[in-house]
Amino acid sequence: MDFEKIKIKIKKLVEEELFSLEPWIINVGWEEKLPKLNELREKVKDMGLWLPQIPKEYGGLGLSLQQHGEVSEILGTSPYGHYIFNCQAPDAGNMEILIEFGTNEQKEKYLYPLLEGKTRSCFAMTEPNYAGSNPVKMGTIAKKEGENYIINGHKWFTSGFDGSSFVIVMLITKPEEDNQHKRASQIIIPTDTDGLEFVRNVQIMGHPGGGWESHSEIKFNNCKVSSSNVLGGDGEGFSIAQKRLGPGRIHHCMRWIGICERSFDLMCKRAVSREISHGKKLADKQTIQNWIAECRAEINAARLLVKDAAEKIDKNGSYKSRSEISIIKFYCANVLQKVVDYAIQVHGALGVTDDIILASYYRHERAARIYDGADEVHKSRLARSILKLYNS
């Protein structure tokens, strides 16, 4: 199918099927909205648009990273766009690393049901007692005992744990290794394993979580899993994480741009329709005009930066594109915050209600400047890499 036709079909489906659901869908629990979302998932399958980011040999559309970035922008205009196409985080990243690093047994047991949409998964890396910006410091330990690992530790912000059938856990398996980037591994753990304790769903900006949207706190209490559940090899946790995080940030950034475009559209429509006084509209005010001009320029710039990063990752890989990845991560997160904030301001009191989508965007996406590396960390890393060129 021609790529432009694919985008047209996806855009039509999202706008016609999801936009109209938003006043209801953002205000009900996961279990209540799930039947309708699953109905739309079946529609996506029937249209041949399922798994846009996955290679054709695994049942997907086989889009390149850059192409999926363009699709991700369209899907990002609705909170559930990615879910109904089965390319939502963290499942999408888990699919990608299972395809690349999973054994035949792991693929059969974990990957294929995930690709079919029969199961959901999650990824556990962040810990409450260690800074997320320093991933070499983790307290979750897996000790080898015969053919098994015994796991103890504490994770939180395990996104999507509630309702998942397995979790891929980043943990330390080789604490004595001199190279700190060779100490960690990734292990697949079924969520019904004895010793895996669900503590709570962490509330985010007043949202209680639950289902795919959850951010859970979990503990491992002498949790036993087979060594055959190690993903890749022992000590390869960080190299696998790098493979995952680069493309993942492209997906996130293009999703944010989709949110920006939707917010920008709502802002402009509100500006030209809202009468304020003496026959004047919001759009007649220079402050509003400045906001619109700034947002348009910055959204366009963000999109070009992400496309550039995606091209370089496709060509050179994530490791050699680290600077471009850092640039888009902090730049796009700040454009997102600015555009949504201006859109809310233009809508006035309506903007902070759940009658429209903007308040939901604001609650859920403020975290964009924190997760996948806080802005400050990316800026510092980028600056150091630039300054190296001047010190050599």
Looking at the domain assignment, is residue 333 inside a domain?
yes
Looking at the domain assignment, is residue 42 inside a domain?
yes
Q: Same domain for 219 and 256? A: no
Q: What is the pLDDT of residue 132?
A: 73
Looking at the domain assignment, is residue 29 inside a domain?
yes
Q: What is the pLDDT of residue 121?
A: 96
Q: What is the pLDDT of residue 31?
A: 87
Looking at the domain assignment, is residue 116 inside a domain?
no
Please write the tens of the pLDDT for every residue from 86-145.
999 999 999 999 999 999 999 999 999 999 999 999 999 999 998 876 777 899 999 999
Q: Same domain for 214 and 245? A: no
Looking at the domain assignment, is residue 114 inside a domain?
no
Please say which residue of 102, 131, 163 terminates a domain: 102
Look at residue 77 and give its three-state secondary structure. coil
Q: Same domain for 223 and 243? A: no
Q: Same domain for 242 and 379? A: yes
Q: What is the pLDDT of residue 222?
A: 98
> Do 195 and 177 touch, CB atoms closer than 8 A?
no
Print the domain residue range for 63.
3-102
Q: What is the pLDDT of residue 279?
A: 85
Counting the structural domains of the chain, the total is 3
Please say which residue of 231, 250, 276 terminates a domain: 231
Please say which residue of 186, 213, 231 terminates a domain: 231
Chain centroid, CA 144 distance in Å: 32
Q: Same domain for 135 and 220? A: yes
DSSP state of 259: H
Q: Same domain for 224 and 242? A: no
Instruction: Provide the CATH number for the domain around residue 133.
Output: 2.40.110.10
Helix (H), strand (E), coil (C) string for 21-72: HHHHHCCCCHHHHHHHHHHHHHHHHHCCCCCCCCCHHHCCCCCCHHHHHHHH
Which residues of the chain fall below pLDDT 50? none
